[in-house]
Amino acid sequence: DEKYLREIPVELIQRGKYQPRRDMDQQALEELAESIRQQGIMQPIVVRPISESKYEIIAGERRWRASQLAQLDRVPAIVRDVPDEAAVAMALIENIQRENLNAMEEAFALQRLQDEFELTQGEVAEAIGKSRSTVTNLLRLMNLHDDVKLMLEHGDLEMGHGRALLGLPSEDQLAAANQVNSKSMSVRQTEAFVRKLLESPQPKRKASPAKDPNVKQLEEELSEKLGARIEISQGSRGKGRLVISYNSLDELDGILSHIK
């Protein structure tokens, strides 16, 4: 693994496929851009070459995006010539350690690190420099209902809320999460609310059909390839919808660069 520091034009850099941050707050980016205007980039981003002139981000996408907002022509970057597998590990580990991910983003990244490299929770904890109990608690969030995960990811709920909601069956979590959010419940209030729900008799409901595992696998593969959240919904007679979610025009440009 060779590495060297250089200044790279921002237009020659593209977002990484392995970026664990799935939602970037525009106001936070503006604040970072203002800091960069005043002080410059204090910590270089990390990239790898993908052609003779193009580079892909391994770590530091927020700094790259903020540099564009600050209208910088070039950014300092550590260039590392590493293969795909090493880039996955480096991107996940460096972003978990440096990029101030929220709990749900960190859980997604830890799950991916564990799955792609077949690691135990103890090995994941050692790789990122955190305790095993911290890793275990974060990975438990992956058992939440998908829409509740989105609420954590977008900051509508905190990790403590998510941990409390795990006490409910998956089909009850979303309705409870919406109440917690709308009433601005604290974590302790949420824990009491969940206990109350569990003590109440629940009416039987028809289970919703599970998503086809092949469709889920395709969603995951496309999400990894494009670096974006992909949702596929199936209709009748082979029809359906494929939805690509993005949070800014810059992110859309990055997605399109992977498609072209």
Q: Which of 160, 121, 128, 130 is nearest to 144 (CA)?
A: 160
The first and second tokens of residue 139, run together, are: 């990975």
- The mean of the pLDDT values for the chain is 85
Task: Read off the pLDDT of residues 132-157 as tens digits, 9 standing for 90 and up.
Answer: 999 999 999 999 999 999 999 888 99
Q: Which of 191, 196, 185, 195 is nearest to 151 (CA)?
A: 185
Residue 257 has what pLDDT? 75
Strand-strand pairing, 74-81 and 45-49 = parallel
Catalytic residues: 61
The first and second tokens of residue 97, run together, are: 């350690």
Identity at 207, one-letter amino acid code: A
Strand-strand pairing, 13-14 and 229-234 = unpaired
Burial class (CB in 10 A: 0-12, 13-18, 19+), 130: middle
**Does residue 104 have a pLDDT over 70?**
yes
pLDDT tier, 68 (very low <50, low <70, confident <90, very high otherwise): very high
pLDDT tier, 245 (very low <50, low <70, confident <90, very high otherwise): confident
Q: Which residues pair with 242 in a beta bridge?
A: 232
Chain centroid, CA 143 distance in Å: 16
pLDDT tier, 22 (very low <50, low <70, confident <90, very high otherwise): low
Q: How far apart are CA 153 and CA 258, in angstroms?
A: 24
Domains of the chain: 2-101 (3.90.1530.30), 103-143 (1.10.10), 144-199 (1.10.10.2830), 213-259 (no CATH)
Burial class (CB in 10 A: 0-12, 13-18, 19+), 97: middle
**Does residue 89 have a pLDDT over 80?**
no
Least confident of 4-13, 23-32, 128-137, 170-179: 23-32
Length of the chain: 260
3-state secondary structure of 44: coil
- Taking the complete model, does pTM exceed 0.85, yes or no? no
Task: Read off the pLDDT of residues 154-179 as tens digits, 9 standing for 90 and up.
Answer: 889 999 999 999 999 999 999 999 99
**Does residue 259 have a pLDDT over 80?**
no
